[in-house]
Structure 1
Amino acid sequence: MKQHFFPALRLTLICIVVFMGLYTLLIWVVAQAASGGGKGETVSVNNKVVGYKLEGQSFTDDKYFNSRPSACGFNAAGSGASNKGPSNPDYLKEVQNRIDTFMVHNPFVKKEDIPSELVTASGSGLDPDLSPQGAYVQVPRIAKTRNISEEKIKALVAQQIQKPLLGLFGPGKVNLLQLNIELDKLK
């Protein structure tokens, strides 16, 4: 028994030191070197922090590009999905309510043209990005509300599209916070 117990105890103590101490310290050092010092990358307008680059926010005003729905109310401390399956009647009712609300605020859009991301929550509930299609479908509403030409707003969306990594990995996306900040700068 001694020949198995003491090596196992030593291995356990080594793992505790390495994984609880050294690994944690390494991750902390890397985070400190990152922009934001490990606290997230903030976005500021006129020296006032308005949000975080990688954390979604609720935009529901008609003069802004609306964000993707969140099952956790955009609470980063309680990030998560609703965990309801696609055949759950409560979930289907919730999605239908989101579609109906979207149609009221965007009467120019046909139901079949609504991107699913605008009526379904992401897995984390904190998705900060939309697909270009999710942004472009909202252009007529914003143009009418702000009395700005659709072409000008479409050009703004096109400028804000972030291409896939190396042009290969993942889809193009638009950071919603940055897009709405730039939208406020339009005259």
Structure 2
Amino acid sequence: MKTYLMPSLKLTFVLLLICSVIYPLVVAGIGKLAPGQGDGVKLSHNSRVVGYENIGQAFTQPQYFQGRPSAVDYNAAGSAGSNKGPSNPDYLAVVKARVDTFLLQNPTVKRAEVPSELVTASGSGLDPDLSVAAATVQINRVATARNLPKEKVAALVKQHTQAPLLGFLGPEKINVLKLNIALDELSAGK
């Protein structure tokens, strides 16, 4: 019995040390090399932190671009999707209600023009980005609510469009928080 017990205890101790101490320290060290030093990239407006670049948030006022809905109310501590399939009647009712609300807020948009990402939550519930189409479909509402020319708002959308990673990995995208901060700055300087 002693023949098996001592090697097992030694192996357990070594693995405990590797998995509970060394690996977390290595991952934390790598995180400190990332933008934001592993704490996320904070975005400020008027000398006040207004959010994080990589965490979506709710914008419900008509003068702001709205991001993807969240199944977890943008709670970064509990990121998750809704776990309901596309044929689930409850899920379909929620999506239909989101489409109807979007169409009420954007009367110039037809039902077929509503991008799916504006009415369906992302897998994490924290998606901070939109496609160019999802931002473009909101330009009329935002420009009208802010009393700005549509061309200026469209130019702002184009200015904040990020190219795919390395030019070909993923779609073009727009960070909603950055776009809304720029929109506030544009409105303040008009």
Query: In the TM superposition, what is the alpha-carbon distance from 1:2 to its structure 2 partner?
Result: 4.8
Distance 1:143 1:34 in 2: 36
Residue 81 of structure 1: aligned partner: 81
Calculate the aligned-residue CA RMSD, in Å: 1.4
- Once the two structures are overlaid, the 10-residue window that deviates more, 104-113 or 72-81, is 72-81
**SS of the residue 1:50 aligns to:** strand
List runs of 5+ in structure 1 lacking aligned partners.
none
Matches of residues 30-179 of structure 1 in structure 2 within 5 Å? 30-179=30-179
Amino acid at match of 2:63: K
**Code of the aligned partner of 2:65:** F
Structure 1 residue 45: Cα displacement: 1.1
Q: Which range moves more in the overlay, 143-152 or 132-141?
A: 143-152
- Describe the superposition over 1:65-97 as per-residue Cα deviations: whole angstroms up to 9, x where unpaired: 011111111111121111111111110000000
2:24 and 2:142 mapped to 1: Cα distance? 46
- State the SS of the aligned residue for 1:148: coil
Greater shift, 56-65 or 21-30, is seen at: 21-30
Match of 2:27 in 1: 27
What SS is found at the alignment partner of 2:144?
A: helix
Please report the TM-score for the alignment, with normalisation by the length of structure 1. 0.94
Aligned AA (1:89): P
Deviation for aligned residue 1:41: 1.1
Aligned AA (1:128): P
How does the TM-score come out when normalised to structure 2? 0.93
User: How far apart are 1:4 and its partner, in Å?
Assistant: 4.4
> What amino acid does structure 1 have at the position aligned with 2:171?
P
The answer to whether the Cα contact below 8 Å between 1:60 and 1:67 also exists between their aligned partners in 2 is no
Match of 1:15 in 2: 15
CA offset digits 1:141-185 (Å, max 9, x no partner) = 111111212111111111101111111111111000000011112
Shift of 1:5: 4.2
Number of residues paired by the alignment? 187
